[in-house]
Amino acid sequence: MSRFRTVFFDLDDTLYPNTSGVWEAIGERINLYMQEKVGIPTGRVAALRDQYFRAYGTTLNGLMLHHHVDPDDYLDYVHQVAIEQMLQPDPDLRRTLLSLPQRKVVFTNASHDHAERVLHALGLEGSIDQVVDILALEMVNKPQPESFQKAMALSGETQAAACVTVDDAVRNLATAGALGMTTVLVGRSDGCEAVDFCVARAADLLQAIPSLLEADPGPQGVPR
- Domain positions in the chain are 6-18+88-221, 22-78
pLDDT at 189: 80
- Per-residue pLDDT at 223 exceeds 80: no
Mean per-residue pLDDT, 120-139: 97
Give 215's pLDDT tier (boundaries 50, 70, 90). low
Q: How many CB atoms lie within 10 A of CB 3?
A: 13
pLDDT at 224: 35
- Per-residue pLDDT at 145 exceeds 50: yes
Name 38's Cβ contacts closer than 8 Å, sequence gap at least 6.
63, 67, 69
**pLDDT > 90 fraction of the chain, expressed in percent and rounded:** 91
pLDDT digits (tens, 9 = 90+) for 165-214: 999 999 999 999 999 999 999 998 888 999 999 999 999 999 999 999 98
Residue 200 backbone zone (phi > 0: left; psi -120 to 50: alpha; other: beta): alpha
Q: State the Cα–Cα distance between residues 166 and 7, nearest whole angstrom.
A: 7
Question: Is the fold of 6-18+88-221 the same as that of 22-78?
Answer: no
Q: Does domain 22-78 have CATH number 3.40.50.300?
A: no
Half-sphere exposure of 83 (CA within 13 A, CB side): 21
Q: Are 118 and 20 in contact (CB under 8 A)?
A: no
Q: Which CATH superfamily is domain 6-18+88-221 in?
A: HAD superfamily/HAD-like (3.40.50.1000)
